[in-house]
Amino acid sequence: MNLVAKTLLGPGRTNPAKVAISTVDGHQMRYADLDRLSGQLANLLVRCYHVNEGDRVAVQSPKCPELLALNIACARIGAIYVPLNTSYTDREIRLLLDDATPSLLVREALIEHDTPRANLGRLVHEAHDQSSHFADVACDENAPAAMLFTSGTTGRAKGALLTHGNLVSNCQTLNEVWGFTPHDTLLHALPLFHTHGLFVGAYCALSSGASMILMENFDAGEVVRQLSSATVFMGVPTYYVRLLAEPSLNRDATAGLRLFTAGSAPLLRATHREFAERTGYTIIERYGMTETGIITSNPIDGSLKVGTVGRALPGVEVRVTGGSPGDVEVKGPNVLIDYWNRPELRETEFTIDGWFKTGDVGIVDEDGYLEIVGRAKDLIITGGYNVYPKELELVLDTFPGVLESAVIGLPDADFGEAVTAIVVPRPGAHLDEAQLGVLARSSFAKFKVPKRFIIVTELPRNAMGKVEKARLRRELSRTQESSERLKPI
């Protein structure tokens, strides 16, 4: 038995003529089409591209229904699917390919690397000559199914290995908690290279036999127009802020919906309140990570607590250690099996008794609801995407004229946090903010590029010489002119 394939294709096989995926421009893929194409792609990958069980398939491709068929095809082979952010630059992609050593890179653009490459359109075209029948490789709950890169505080990317069991247990539990049925239609505006969009959104819909309306990119006006055809919408806080800027968002526009969820970053209480006033719906906040999928969720029965991320999902354990607030740790069938080629991380990312350290700081109240109050690590969450300062700092420090840098997140009404770079020039050098921006845009994915560069003569440090990022965040958050207190040039 292939656990992921059975879970995602099984419900559709009982109703093969049902539309599984549609797009806003009218393209439709029935469950029978998804089943057929995934089988054809699986045969193609094995016979023509020599992808075998345990091999990695790296994918950086625009969002489309065929991308989901490719994901399922990899699962049927027993290959490890490695989705890559579509904003990553060639430099970033090469580093990840060096680490993952995939058998195939699915990408539109050429890249200087030894990995064999094909674009998705070519694969789909070639697959039409293949048989749709494929004998799925047996994969139980312990077999690796996906690897998602999440940069570490050291700047080196970590490949989180997720198993068939991790992915299936999470979507099946969410289907129960969130009440997904074949009668649902998910308006899907999230990326398909991210845990939220792929393993939560798409997997919940397919594993419950529901339908999806796939939007290539988030567009607030188009989302409001499509809501009348949906019953569920999932988003990040930035989406909801932008939806509230649409005058057409009202109770009539959302009349057919039953569920709005938010995650990947904290949702402001003001956003909660205004959304409820405008639509009559309360957004269900939940909490998860790349390494764990979803950990907690507020209930949909009306007993949610605004400001919290809810209680632990069934079968998942959450604890807070070291005080209250304290370190949030998690244990359960949703937690990654390991990090790719990083055995040393078993000691640093897990406790002695086997709990995964989330790096977040939180409080659990008397009813078991978790409130996230901060992050032990310097992770920045901007628009729902994770940005790790050390990764940026290592590159910024190589820019001409730069002596050192510190990257922090500052409050932002639209993105939640704005990536901000505080930069110290080399003696005698002159730094220009506009030129730093040009260099950053050529080096980083769009969401990583600092929204602001602040040039200072020195960075604040403690007695041990460590940069005091907490102080930087505190002082720069007070006022736009606060950078004067940091000895600007």
- How do residues 349-398 score in pLDDT, each as one tens digit? 999 999 999 988 888 999 999 998 777 767 788 998 888 787 888 899 89
- The residue type found at 80 is I
Q: Do 344 and 205 have their domain in common?
A: yes
Instruction: Examine residue 57 and state whether it is found in any structural domain, yes or no.
Output: yes
> In degrees, to the nearest 5, what angle opens at C-alpha 239 toward C-alphas 235 and 245?
145
Q: Do 276 and 396 have their domain in common?
A: no
**pLDDT value for 80:** 98
**pLDDT value for 465:** 60
Q: Do 398 and 264 have their domain in common?
A: no
Instruction: Examine residue 105 and state whether it is found in any structural domain, yes or no.
Output: yes
The predicted-structure confidence for 256-307, as pLDDT tens digits, reads as follows: 999 999 988 778 788 899 999 999 999 999 999 999 999 999 999 878 888 8
* Among the listed residues 336, 352, 339, the one whose alpha carbon sits nearest the alpha carbon of residue 156: 339
Instruction: Examine residue 269 and state whether it is found in any structural domain, yes or no.
Output: yes
- Beta strand segments in 7-142, E: 19-23, 28-30, 56-60, 80-83, 104-107, 117-118
Q: Do 345 and 413 have their domain in common?
A: no
Instruction: Examine residue 373 and state whether it is found in any structural domain, yes or no.
Output: no
Range of the domain at 195: 3-364
The predicted-structure confidence for 235-250, as pLDDT tens digits, reads as follows: 998 899 899 999 999 9
Q: What are phi and psi of 182, to 5 degrees?
A: -60, -15
Q: Do 391 and 314 have their domain in common?
A: no
Q: Do 385 and 355 have their domain in common?
A: no
- Distance between CA atoms of residues 385 and 270, nearest Å: 21
Residue 411: CATH number of its domain: 3.30.300.30
Q: Do 326 and 455 have their domain in common?
A: no
Instruction: Examine residue 450 and state whether it is found in any structural domain, yes or no.
Output: yes
Mean model confidence pLDDT for the chain: 91
Q: Do 21 and 59 have their domain in common?
A: yes
Q: Do 276 and 196 have their domain in common?
A: yes
- Distance between CA atoms of residues 44 and 77, nearest Å: 11
Instruction: Examine residue 329 and state whether it is found in any structural domain, yes or no.
Output: yes
pTM of the prediction?
A: 0.85
Q: Do 335 and 445 have their domain in common?
A: no
**pLDDT value for 155:** 58
Q: Which residues 6+ apart lie within 8 Å of 2 measured at CB?
A: 75, 76, 78, 136, 137, 138, 139, 164
Q: Do 75 and 177 have their domain in common?
A: yes
Instruction: Examine residue 375 and state whether it is found in any structural domain, yes or no.
Output: no
Sign of CA dihedral 482, 484, 487, 489: positive
Q: Do 339 and 428 have their domain in common?
A: no
- Distance between CA atoms of residues 440 and 435, nearest Å: 9
The CA-atom distances, in angstroms, between 159 and each of 28, 168, 204, 276 are: 33, 19, 23, 38
Low-confidence ranges of the chain (pLDDT < 50): 152-154, 464, 480-489
Output the six-digit token pair for 271: 């956003």
Residue 170: CATH number of its domain: 3.40.50.12780
Number of domains in the chain: 2
Pair 171, 30: CB distance under 8 Å: no
- The residue type found at 209 is G
Instruction: Examine residue 371 and state whether it is found in any structural domain, yes or no.
Output: no
